Amino acid sequence: MSNSIESTLHETRVFPPPESFVAQANVSGKAAYQALLDEADRDPNGFWGRLARENLQWSKPFTQVLDESKAPFYTWFGDGELNVSANCLDVNLVNGNADKIAIIFEADGGEVTQVTYQQLYERVCKFANALKALGYKAGDRAIIYLPMSIEAVVAMQACARLGVIHSVVFGGFSSKSLHERITDVGASLVITADAQMRGGKAIALKPAVDEALGMGGCEAVRHSIVYRRTGGDVAWDAKRDLWMHEITAKQSADCPPVPVNAEHPLFILYTSGSTGKPKGVQHSSGGYLLWAKLTMEWTFDAKPSDIFWCTADVGWVTGHSYITYGPLAAGLTQVVFEGVPTYPDAGRFWKMIQDHKVTTFYTAPTAIRSLIKASEAKASHHPKSYDLSSLRLLGSVGEPINPEAWMWYHINVGGERCPIVDTWWQTETGGHMITPLPGVTPLKPGSCTTRLPGITAAIVDETGGDVEAGHGGFLVIKRPWPSMIRAIWGDPDRYVKSYFPSELRGYYLAGDGAQCDTDGCFWIMGRIDDVLNVSGHRLGTMEVESALVAHELVAEAAVVGRPDATTGEAVVAFVVLKRSRPEGDEAIAIGKQLRDWVAKEIGPIAKPKEIRFGDNLPKTRSGKIMRRLLRVVAKGETVTQDVSTLENPAILDQLSTPV
Ligand code: WTA
């Protein structure tokens, strides 16, 4: 737990929802919220059944809401059928939204492209027809490795239209990470682009796919479909590679949606856990979409006139729920962007809000913190230099937001009038779980406040007993909910062990430590496992360690997190080489080599911020590496704990010296 998180627990400022917001909110006032909580607590199945009937269009209505007979393998609306893409697109054509702008896309260089719901529908249908013509059908798995683009949304929706299960891989992951996911998920199709643009530079994507497919074990992949983003030269395998624009050109603009069972997997998204191998989190169609849509209405107070902007990448769950599915199911106009918040300059977010008249802005604390710095450096990067009066609601996601960043966001971006929804959730939960409702909840900077109706979040001890307010414990969800993870792809045992450990009475274990205050507000204190949160991205320490020890120079490595003012946490690696411990310039050179190696093995987001070399690592007499002590050393603090159980206490002094 970092010091900054300690200090948030003493935060006393409270910001009640503005009356003008309450007056127009979808969930307006405490009584409305309480009524939903009570309905859900009194009769959960009645509550969820009602919402699923009211919010989704079913091709075959369900008769059973929740089946707990194989707990913790729950099923929701299990005998119902629907199509997710029809619920995002077709419904909007009959609801009078055909000519409404669905997506305003702004590319890295600032070019803007818009599509209406009708146009998006046609593009999705054409692409789905092309996939169908190639023989892809419900249940097949497609890896999507695309830049942020309208095409990425089209590809995901086209898969959903056919029941093809997509697994999106963030464009920043290496060919090795890509290969791991292609083989684990058993993909028969890869959808990629020639390149992506980031900060004015083209970064090739297709070569990583070619490399991954060449690594072996990918024989099931029949095609690699390529979106032409930059038009640069690409290597081509005529037997396997197809241009997206060529295969869609002659297709019909109508493709009947394939009804699938509510439990049919919509997607599998890999995320880091406590072991070296990422977990393929499997989500359903019905329950998942229900929550993506409802949280748009509740948390984001979605209104037909909104211009919604979630700055996430579709490679993460936030981009799934709050770009590809939620906003479309809610019939909104949304902004999608390619690039980085600091290009062409650090005023980009504020300029985009001004240009596109964004009403609802959802981003990550790490982006806010980096933009605070930039805005202090130059007036033209400051939000106050832009007209942000269109904004009515702000959101935060991915990591705890420190109160200083919260206040800056509130004052400088929200003009002190916009509520901030600090949404706590995870890849596994599918959508928001603990968050303020903007027309209900008094806000406390640094707290994600209270649970959503139907979400039985609680803090418990190691036996599952409730922990009193003001004391730390494990964050759990006591009852299943529709958008919960259904499985870890191909590893049912790991699903049970990771999320439903037997000592916790069948509760879902989130993996976060947290505490509740006396108002029932939750304060997230950080992960309880070996997962780091770097710039809002989940990273397993074991993943980075495995990458390091795969390098020919490395004998042993231990990776820990250290609090970082901008990225939340930073990766610090303690490394023992097979040869003698390097010093001075040599240590710097090998450090760089290893950092580049990690970027190549996993992706640039996993690069250690610092590498320290030792003759050994601190170990117990039984050989266990004492990561707890390394965390103290990484922070630059003196170890005050008892080190008498260590085999080699002197090593701590050596490791305490940064290169
Ligand atoms: C952390 C991202 C504090 C938490 C949607 C969780 C947060 C992990 C918040 C999930 C928040 C996410 N406040 N911590 N508002 N939101 N986290 O799977 O540790 O990429 O377990 O999902 O991020 O990260 P994931």
The better pLDDT of the pair 236, 376 is held by 236
Does residue 572 register a pLDDT over 60? yes
Q: How confident is the model at residue 9 (pLDDT cuts 50, 70, 90)?
A: low
pLDDT at 646: 87
pLDDT at 2: 41
pLDDT at 215: 96
**Run of H or E including 493:** helix 492-499
pLDDT at 645: 82
* Residue of 279, 399, 449, 522 to test ligand 1 pocket, by largest number of atoms within 8 Å of CB: 399
**Once rounded to an integer, what is the mean pLDDT over residues 14-27?**
97
* Overall size of the chain counted in residues: 659
Does residue 298 register a pLDDT over 60? yes
pLDDT at 659: 63
Q: Which of 3-17, 53-67, 254-268, 517-531 has the lowest mean pLDDT?
A: 3-17
* Contact by Cβ (8 Å): 535, 365: no
pLDDT at 4: 47
In this structure, the residue with its CA closest to atom 15 of ligand 1 is 424
pLDDT digits (tens, 9 = 90+) for 308-326: 999 999 999 999 999 999 9
Residues 6+ apart with CB under 8 A from 182: 143, 190, 212, 213, 218, 221
DSSP state of 321: I
Residues 6+ apart with CB under 8 A from 255: 124, 125, 126, 128, 129, 132, 161, 162
Sole residue written with tokens 């009947």:
256
In this structure, the residue with its CA closest to atom 5 of ligand 1 is 426
pLDDT at 446: 95
Is residue 147 helix, strand or coil? coil
Q: Could you tell me the sign of the dihedral formed by the alpha carbons of 489, 494, 498, 502, in that order?
A: positive
* Residue of 533, 539, 567, 569 to test ligand 1 pocket, by largest number of atoms within 8 Å of CB: 533
Mean pLDDT estimate for the chain: 95
Q: Residues lining ligand 1, CB < 6 A?
A: 271, 316-318, 397-400, 422-427, 448, 510-512, 524, 527, 533, 538
**Once rounded to an integer, what is the mean pLDDT over residues 414-428?**
98
Residue percentage of the chain with pLDDT more than 90:
92
pLDDT at 10: 67
pLDDT digits (tens, 9 = 90+) for 361-371: 999 999 999 99
pLDDT at 424: 98
pLDDT digits (tens, 9 = 90+) for 594-643: 999 999 999 999 999 999 999 999 998 888 889 989 999 999 998 888 88
Q: How confident is the model at residue 7 (pLDDT cuts 50, 70, 90)?
A: low
Does residue 158 register a pLDDT over 60? yes
**Once rounded to an integer, what is the mean pLDDT over residues 476-495?**
97
pLDDT at 1: 37
pLDDT at 641: 83
